[in-house]
Amino acid sequence: MLKFKIAVLLSAFILLMPHNVFTKSAGKVKSGIVYVPVYSSIYHGDKNREFDLAVTLSIRNIDMKQAITIMSVDYHDTSGKLVRSYAKERRYIKPIEALTFVIRESDLTGGPGASFIVRWSAENAVNEPIIESIMIGTKGQQGISFSSRGKRILD
């Protein structure tokens, strides 16, 4: 009889516990800092001529249920110096929504080793957003485009 009572109490305890105590959300996190390499220009040819590029930073909330908050989006030049902050206020990205920031082709402040640092958070654990950069440039009949994916870093 004692074993039965213990089993009933243990079962009740397990049933009343919050679901997330016993299950781990695979790959889900509550915040992150992401380094995104970008290139406002690249070198080409034998004489190291620069080819200027427009840059689009894309932040995509791939969580189907929860919004994420963009805390900051900072643009740094090749030497690591802060050029400008793009998100001076917190920005919310709804589920499956994207947020973009554009650097014009004529803006050469970043150089070939520029980067973004994106800080984001969520109220609950979510799928990590996809944060990537797309670079494109054209001159005459020549054009170039490519992308690079952000990488999570520790502060």
Reported as a single tens digit per residue, the pLDDT across 52-69 is 999 999 999 999 999 999
Band (pLDDT 50/70/90 cuts) for residue 1 is low
Distances (CA, A) of 81 to 11, 78, 110, 153: 58, 7, 9, 18
Using a cut of 0.85, tell me whether the model's pTM lies above it.
no
Comparing 81 with 42, the larger pLDDT belongs to 81
Three state DSSP letters for the chain: CHHHHHHHHHHHHHHHCCHHHCCCCCCEEEEEEEEEECCCEEEECCCCEEEECEEEEEEECCCCCCCEEEEEEEEECCCCCEEEECCCCCEEECCCCEEEEEECCCCCCCCCCCEEEEEEEEEEEEECCEEEEEEEEEECCEEEEEEEECEEECC
Confidence at residue 17, expressed as pLDDT on a 0 to 100 scale: 52
**10, pLDDT greater than 60:** no
Pair of tokens at residue 15: 């049933």
The full set of domain ranges for the chain reads 30-153
Q: Which CATH number fits domain 30-153: 1.10.3470, 3.40.190, 1.10.287, 2.60.40?
A: 2.60.40
Q: How confident is the model at residue 5 (pLDDT cuts 50, 70, 90)?
A: very low
